[in-house]
Amino acid sequence: MQFKRVKRNINGVLLLDKPLGFSSNQALQKVKWLFQAAKAGHTGTLDPLATGLLPICLGEATKFAQFVTDADKSYVAKVKFGMTTTTGDAEGEVIATKPVAVDRTQLEAACQQFLGEIQQVPPMYSALKHEGKALYEYARAGIEVERKVRIVTIQAITVDALEDDIATITVTCSKGTYIRTLAEDIGNALDCGAHLVGLRRTETAGYTLASSVTVEALEAMEQSARDDLLLPVDSAVESLPSVTLDEDARYYLMLGQAVWVAGQIPDTSLRLYDETANFLGLGFLQDDGKIAPKRLIKKSD
């Protein structure tokens, strides 16, 4: 007789070091199964060929996953010059080759061209949807779909190493940035072409890869040890200003009502806590000066 695994209402954020070859959804489902979590969601897609930091939100933390998804991100990328591919990375077929004569000074100068706001056309081999289908499905069928140019921001690019025709660069950028496309653009700026041969996410929303855990390590742990790795739900919104409510205000807020709070309140999303530092959820300042609930934590049973 097979016994059905009992799903748990467990809350928190797990920092996973996504392994090579896993899609973000495969990584999510693995974590969800290991924690026997009733509810889980990831916070921004990493391609199967990419590795690194993938925060997984469990339970009530899923209500705040978008704040992590929308945050800036940092990557370490390996870029191979002299070849362009159909996919912009090592998974695709080579479509052009050029000789490479690039030194570090030239590479650093080329990278500087892409600092600040830049335009990117999302690659055909991406998970973006067009009429309900992922772009990569059209690409595999040999169909080219017109994509809208998007504006992204590159906060920093540093060249860590250049050995022969392969560079290692660190990039900090806004959400929605395609590092594959950036690698291709840098290759075009150097007139030799390029594609991505490695990508590792190292930071997002204040979370760092150094604090992450591998799938193998999770599998080897007892359930209690896994649970101990979970960060609190409010870590997902730590960048937002906080407000503490007295008992009366807490009571009415949890009933869905706007409440008065003394002091200068920032006009933005707010982390709300009770007097014992329990996270209640998010609120916002109304025009009348009251704080209204925006997204609240469900009370534990």
Active site residues: 47
Could you tell me which of 80, 81, 82 has the C-alpha nearest to residue 97? Answer: 82
Query: Could you tell me if 85 and 95 are in contact, meaning their C-beta atoms sit under 8 angstroms apart?
Result: yes
- What phi, psi does 209 have (nearest 5°)? -60, -30
Distance CA 48, CA 199 (A): 10
For residue 60, the 8-state DSSP code is G
Distance CA 121, CA 51 (A): 23
Distance CA 274, CA 260 (A): 14
Strands 50-58 and 12-18: antiparallel
Q: How far is CA 251 from CA 64, 273, 294, in A?
A: 22, 12, 15
Distance CA 155, CA 57 (A): 26
Strands 242-244 and 270-273: parallel
Distance CA 209, CA 207 (A): 7
Could you tell me which of 90, 99, 113, 105 has the C-alpha nearest to residue 165? Answer: 99
**Which residue shows structure tokens 């730590």?**
238
